[in-house]
Structures are given as structure tokens and as C-alpha cells.
Amino acid sequence: MGVVSDVGCDVATFWANLLAGKSGIGPITRFDATDCRCRVAGEVRDLNIGDYLDVKEARRLDLFCHFAVAAGDQAVKQAGLLDYAGLDKTRVGVLVSSGVGGLQTVTDQAVTLAQRGFSRISPLTIPMMIPDMAPGFLSIRYGFTGPNFAVVSACATATHSIGEASWMIRRGDADVMLAGGAENCTVGLGIGAFASMKALTSCNDEPTRASRPFDKTRDGFVPAEGGGVLVLESYDHAVARGATILGELTGYGLSGDAYHITAPDPEGTGAARALTMALARAGLTPADVSYVNAHGTSTPLNDQVETKALKLALGEAAYTVPISSTKSMTGHALGAAGALESIVCLLAIRDGIVPPTINYETPDPDCDLDYVPNTARRVAVRHAVNTNLGFGGHNAALIFSRVD
């Protein structure tokens, strides 16, 4: 596993801060947000990209790719992939995606075009802006020549990436896949656009309290950035090289709402179908689920609809399973969210503890489940669910299980 986030740029720091209920959200520093409705974000502050890339390489990549490279390096090193003499790099692929790609590059080069003309546009603009440069660069970096591309499904991007990567292994296209997501949406164009559609919080005076999933006073999500990468591997290949197995991806489900370009289906049926499909593929019942890391964006619509979806998919078990939204601390990293939250699920399985939903103070009658309010909780986690929903009606669910 590898992590770059506003609460930590390595797995250990990320996990310790989440369990402590520490928020990574603060005032926006990347640009002058004085006139913006939302002036807070979850910015990555502690990443030293010089630990991963030389100056020339770093300049040729958008910031979202910096996050992908750092998280990917951490994951590859933890997995010990490059230490395995028998590694067949033609059987190792990369599916690390981004919801919006190089938005900072697009913004910068649009300004260059407007102010200085066509001749001054950087020849690196296209490779810096396209979302699939994250897997492209990672494959070049390590010489991995297996399946290599990116998917885009808004806030479900990383979740779909991990799920689809697992199917590549199951159907024999690869033995190992790097999978996850990376995002840098905390630029003026991105935040301004989300703010104009009133999707973002306006709680600017108390940044650490701005993200309030499932709380009655929630008023929009907090934009964030970062990256998360997992090394997925077939069981036989992992055992053959003596890998440390962190968990098993047992279930993957996906669906579409066919309802609205930004709003979720108000009945939650699409999201429920994705989770029901994941349970069926894992051979589990709702009662088997030990923990749910919810999409939990802190928007009025999402949290209400997701609560309905969990009730539809889990039935009575929805009322007893611990559910938390780590976006209460990290904010919403869009195309990276599903990777960061999948890592949370694996760490919860490993350590037998689930992180809280902080800032949960005023119960909402429409959100009446156990959201692990404000304090981490000891739970023997055997099967953990991660759900993510995206604009366009994209729904995805993953189930991670303990391997004894």
C-alpha cells in the first residue's frame, strides 16, 4: 500500500492521524480563494517529491502524477516486488487512474494561450494533462509491460480501477497489478467549478469542522487531493515469492443509476445493487460485513441516499454494522478517494480498529445508522466494504477480507 494525503504522506502517518480523528483540512493556499464560496481544502502539505523524482522528471509531470508516483513507489517497495528475482514484468500491469487528470496544467496552459499565444504553449501539455499518464509513467518507471491504462468514473474512479485490476488477474491477463487513483483538483478552476454548482461547503471559518458526513448540518463536500496505490496479486504468485499478504479482495460490484448527471438516484437503488453484487461475488451475507467505509461526502443528497442504499443492500444488518466516513478528516479526493478508503479497510482488518466519522454532532433523522461518531472503535474486522459513487451515476463497491 502507498498513500499521499492531507493527513499523511505515508501509510503509518495516514493511519495514525485517522485513528486520532485528526483533520487535514485547512485554508486554501494554492491560489487566492478570497472571492470563492469555498475557501478550504485538503491540500497535501508534507510531500517532498524530491524523495521520488529528480527535478527534471518532476517538472515534466502534473501534480496528480507526483501523487501517483509517490504512492506507487511506497506500494512497490512495501510489496518487495523489485526484490523478487523471478518477477516477470510482462505479467505486471498498472491501472492507476484520475478523475480529472492534469487540471493545473490545463489551467496554466489556457492562461498561456490567452496571454502569449499558440507558440508559447508547452509541448508537454498533452502528456501532462491526460489522466492515463499516471499508469503510463509508473509502467515506464518500473518496466512493467502488462495491462496499462486508466479509467474515469468521477468519484468512483479508484474503486473501479481496483476492481477492474482484480478481474485482470482473475482472468489471467496479469499476475500483479498496481491499482488505485491520484488527484489534484484543488486548483482554482476545479474548486471554482464545484463551488458554482453549490456542491462544496461554505464553512470557511472552521476548516477542520467543515466536513460533516451524515450530520444534519452538513452543507457540501470539502475538496481534497492525494493518491493511493495497492499492489494486487494472485494468491499463488504472492505465496510463491513469499509476499506479506495484507488481505483478499473478495468482492467487487458496480452499477449505474441512469438518473441524473450529478444527483444520485434518490432511492439509492443503484448504489445498493453495486454492494449486493459485491456481496454475491464474495459469497457473503449482509450479516458477514464487519465494517463499511462509506462514500460519505458531507453533501445533503449523498449521505441521505447512501444511508438508504446501505439499508437496501444490508437489511437489518445495516443498523448494527459500524460505518464511518474518513472524508470527515481527509475531505473528498475525488478520483483518489476509493484508493485511500480501500487502504483504510485493509488497515482496519489488520489492526482490529475502525476510524471515526468526526464532526458528527447533530443527528439527522434521515441518517440513522451507526457512523462511529468522533472516536475510533475496536472492532474485529473480517470483511470490510468500501463504497464510492460518482457524478454520472457511477457506483462501485469493494469487499476486502482477512486472510488467516
User: Which residues belong to the active site?
Assistant: 155, 295, 332
Of 390, 118, 402, whose CA–CA distance to 256 is shortest? 390
Torsion of CA 325, 331, 334, 336, to 10 degrees: -80
Spatial distance between the Cα atoms of 5 and 77, rounded to a whole number of angstroms: 18
**Residue 374, φ and ψ in degrees, nearest 5:** 70, -20
Host H or E run for residue 108: helix 103-116
Q: What's the Rg (C-alpha) of the chain?
A: 20
User: In this structure, what C-alpha cell is assigned to residue 316?
Assistant: 437489518
Spatial distance between the Cα atoms of 93 and 176, rounded to a whole number of angstroms: 6
Spatial distance between the Cα atoms of 78 and 200, rounded to a whole number of angstroms: 36
Spatial distance between the Cα atoms of 328 and 42, rounded to a whole number of angstroms: 11
Of 388, 386, 389, whose CA–CA distance to 398 is shortest? 386
User: In this structure, what C-alpha cell is assigned to residue 192?
Assistant: 471554482
